[in-house]
C-alpha cells in the first residue's frame, strides 16, 4: 500500500471529527498531524489547568476534567467533569480509558500513587506537574539528574508546605513506579507566571512599578530571576502529550536570561511609567526579613543562592519555547486589570507606601 493511501486510511479512521479539525501547531511550529487524543486533566480549573485545557482543545484533542467541583466550576460547561476528591474518591475514574493523563493537582504522594495505580492500566502516558522545589538543594545549579529532596517519613498523611518539595519528589517517584518510567513525564517548572496567576508573586513587581516613585528593590539589577509563562508551560505540556515525550524536564527560561533590572525595565515599558529604584543589598533584605514581602527574589548567598539556576537546556532541546517576559508582563497586567478593586486591595503581596518609605530611609541611613 502506498504511504499516501496508508495516511488517508489513518486519517479517515480517526473519523469525521478529525477530518474537520484544523491542524494544531505547537509553539515551535511543529504541525500536529496525529489523531485527536483523549486527555484526562486532574485539576483543570485552577491557574495552570485552564491554559492546558484550552491549548489541548485548540489542537483538536478531547479533554475530560477531574476535580471536586469547587474551583471555577463553570469554566468549561461543554466538557465532561468527573467529580471526585483525589484524597479519597476516585471512583469516577474507574473503568474509563484515556490516552494520557495530565496531573497538575498532585501534592500528596499517597494521592498521586492512588491515581497513578488506578489509571496505569487505562492510560498510555502520565504527565506529572512537579516543581524545581523537588530538588534537594538550590545552593547549586539544578539539572534534571541533580539529587531530589528526600522525605524523612513517607507515612505522613497531612500536607505540609514545608515539605512541598520533598512531597513532589516522592510523588514523581511513585508515578514512575506505577506507570513505568517509559510512560512517565515529569515537568518541573520554576515560578509559573502570566494571566490567571492567583499567587500574586511575580505580579507584585509590575503592580508596584505602576505606582511609580521611589521603589525598594532587592539585590541589584543583575539579580537573576527565572520564571515560565503559563502559556509556554501549557504549550510544552501538550507537545509532550502529542509527541509522547517521557523523562524529566525543568520548564523555565534559560539560566541568566532575565534579571530584576529587566523586570523593572519591561514593566515600565509596558505600563508607560517610570520608577526611581532604590537597590538594597541582600544583607539588608535578609536583616529586615523581607524575603517573603519581596516575592520571587532569593538572596544570591546561602541555601537559595542558585534558586534561579534551573537548566532549561533539556526542555529547549525537546521543543519548549519561551516568549519574551515583556509579553508575559503585558498580558498579566491586562488580566490583572479585569479583576475587582477588592481583589486588588487584597493582593497577597503588597507593601504600604509608609512601610516602603521607612525601609528606604533605613537603607539610606546605612549607606
Ligand atoms: N504556581 C507556581 O508558580 C508553581 C510552580 C511550580 C509548580 N507548580 C505546580 O503547578 C500545579 C498547578 O497549580 P495550580 O495553581 O494551577 O492549581 P492548584 O490550585 O494546585 O489546583 C487546582 C485544581 O485542582 C483541583 N483540585 C484541588 N484539590 C483537589 C482534590 N483534592 N481532588 C480533586 N481535584 C482537586 C481544583 O479543582 P477543585 O477545587 O474543584 O477540586 C483545580 O481544578 C501544582 O501541581 C503546583 O505544585 C506551581
DSSP secondary structure letter of residue 147: P
User: What pLDDT score does 292 carry?
Assistant: 82
User: What pLDDT score does 302 carry?
Assistant: 85
Lookup: cell for 280: 538594597
User: What pLDDT score does 268 carry?
Assistant: 98
Residue that has been written with the C-alpha cell 492512588 in this structure: 114
Nearest atom in ligand 1 to the alpha carbon of residue 106 is 45
Distance from residue 132's CA to the centre of ligand 1 (Å): 16
Closest to 265 in 3D by CA, of 209, 189, 316: 209
Quick check: 5 pLDDT over 90?
no
Distance from residue 358's CA to the centre of ligand 1 (Å): 37
* Ligand 1 pocket member 43 (CB < 6 A): yes
Quick check: 14 pLDDT over 70?
no
Q: What is the mean pLDDT of residues 253-270?
A: 98
* Ligand 1 pocket member 85 (CB < 6 A): yes
How many angstroms separate the CA atoms of 22 and 96, rounded?
27
How many angstroms separate the CA atoms of 87 and 67, rounded?
11
User: What pLDDT score does 216 carry?
Assistant: 97
Nearest atom in ligand 1 to the alpha carbon of residue 201 is 3
Crossing angle for the helix pair 204-211 and 325-336, to the nearest 10 degrees: 70
Residue that has been written with the C-alpha cell 494521592 in this structure: 111
* Ligand 1 pocket member 251 (CB < 6 A): no
Query: H/E/C letters for each residue in 260-315?
Result: HHHHHHHHHHHHCCCEEEEEECHHHHHHCCCCCCCCCCCCCCHHHCCCCCECCHHH
* Ligand 1 pocket member 94 (CB < 6 A): no
User: What pLDDT score does 291 carry?
Assistant: 82
* Ligand 1 pocket member 104 (CB < 6 A): yes
How many angstroms separate the CA atoms of 303 and 291, rounded?
13
Distance from residue 162's CA to the centre of ligand 1 (Å): 17
* Ligand 1 pocket member 206 (CB < 6 A): no
* Ligand 1 pocket member 189 (CB < 6 A): yes
Better-scored residue on pLDDT, 304 or 116: 116
Q: What is the mean pLDDT of residues 254-281?
A: 98
State the pLDDT confidence band at 29, using cuts at 50, 70 and 90: low
Lookup: cell for 158: 497531612
* Ligand 1 pocket member 81 (CB < 6 A): no
State the pLDDT confidence band at 300, using cuts at 50, 70 and 90: confident
User: What pLDDT score does 6 carry?
Assistant: 34
User: What pLDDT score does 12 carry?
Assistant: 30
Better-scored residue on pLDDT, 190 or 10: 190
How many angstroms separate the CA atoms of 26 and 4, rounded?
24
CB atoms within 10 A of CB 1: 8
Nearest atom in ligand 1 to the alpha carbon of residue 189 is 6
**Mean of per-residue pLDDT scores for the chain:** 91
State the pLDDT confidence band at 301, using cuts at 50, 70 and 90: confident
DSSP secondary structure letter of residue 133: G
Distance from residue 274's CA to the centre of ligand 1 (Å): 35
How many angstroms separate the CA atoms of 32 and 243, rounded?
9
Q: What is the mean pLDDT of residues 114-134?
A: 98
Ligand 1, atom 8: closest residue by C-alpha: 131
Distance from residue 158's CA to the centre of ligand 1 (Å): 16
* Ligand 1 pocket member 72 (CB < 6 A): no
Q: What are phi and psi of 196, to 5 degrees?
A: 95, 0
How many angstroms separate the CA atoms of 94 and 279, rounded?
56
Ligand 1, atom 5: closest residue by C-alpha: 191
Amino acid at each position: 500500500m502506498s504511504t499516501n493511501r496508508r495516511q488517508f486510511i489513518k486519517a479517515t479512521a480517526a473519523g469525521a471529527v478529525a477530518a474537520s479539525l484544523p491542524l494544531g501547531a505547537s509553539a515551535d511550529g511543529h504541525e500536529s498531524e496525529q489523531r485527536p487524543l483523549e486527555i484526562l486533566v486532574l485539576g483543570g480549573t485552577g491557574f495552570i489547568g485552564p491554559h492546558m485545557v484550552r491549548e489541548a482543545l485548540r489542537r483538536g484533542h478531547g479533554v475530560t476534567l477531574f476535580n471536586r467541583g469547587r474551583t471555577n466550576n463553570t469554566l468549561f460547561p461543554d466538557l465532561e467533569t468527573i467529580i471526585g476528591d483525589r484524597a479519597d474518591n476516585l471512583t469516577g475514574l474507574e473503568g474509563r480509558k484515556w490516552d494520557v493523563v495530565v496531573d497538575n493537582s498532585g501534592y500528596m504522594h499517597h494521592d498521586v500513587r492512588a491515581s497513578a495505580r488506578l489509571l496505569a492500566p487505562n492510560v498510555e502516558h502520565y504527565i506529572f506537574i512537579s516543581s524545581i522545589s523537588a530538588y534537594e538543594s538550590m545552593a547549586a545549579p539544578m539539572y534534571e539528574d541533580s539529587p531530589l529532596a528526600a522525605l524523612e517519613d513517607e507515612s505522613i498523611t497531612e500536607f505540609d508546605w514545608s515539605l512541598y518539595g520533598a512531597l513532589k519528589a516522592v510523588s514523581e517517584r511513585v508515578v514512575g513506579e506505577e506507570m513505568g518510567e517509559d510512560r512517565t513525564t515529569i515537568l518541573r517548572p520554576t515560578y509559573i507566571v502570566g494571566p490567571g496567576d492567583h499567587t500574586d508573586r511575580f505580579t507584585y513587581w509590575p503592580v508596584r512599578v505602576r505606582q511609580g516613585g521611589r521603589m525598594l528593590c532587592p539585590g541589584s539589577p543583575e539579580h537573576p530571576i527565572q520564571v515560565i509563562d503559563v502559556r509556554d508551560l501549557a504549550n510544552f505540556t501538550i507537545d509532550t502529550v502529542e509527541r509522547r515525550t517521557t523523562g524529566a524536564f525543568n520548564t523555565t527560561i534559560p539560566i541568566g536570561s532575565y534579571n530584576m533590572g529587566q523586570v523593572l525595565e519591561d514593566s515600565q515599558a509596558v505600563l508607560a511609567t517610570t520608577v526611581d529604584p532604590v537597590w538594597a543589598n541582600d544583607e539588608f533584605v535578609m536583616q529586615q526579613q523581607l524575603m517573603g514581602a519581596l516575592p520571587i527574589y532569593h538572596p544570591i548567598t546561602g541555601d537559595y543562592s542558585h534558586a534561579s539556576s534551573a537548566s532549561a537546556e533539556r526542555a529547549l532541546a525537546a521543543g519548549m519555547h519561551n516568549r519574551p517576559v515583556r509579553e508575559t508582563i503585558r498580558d498579566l497586567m491586562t488580566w490583572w486589570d479585569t479583576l475587582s478593586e477588592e481583589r486588588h486591595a487584597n493582593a497577597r503581596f503588597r507593601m504600604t507606601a509608609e512601610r516602603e518609605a521607612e525601609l528606604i530611609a533605613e537603607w539610606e541611613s546605612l549607606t
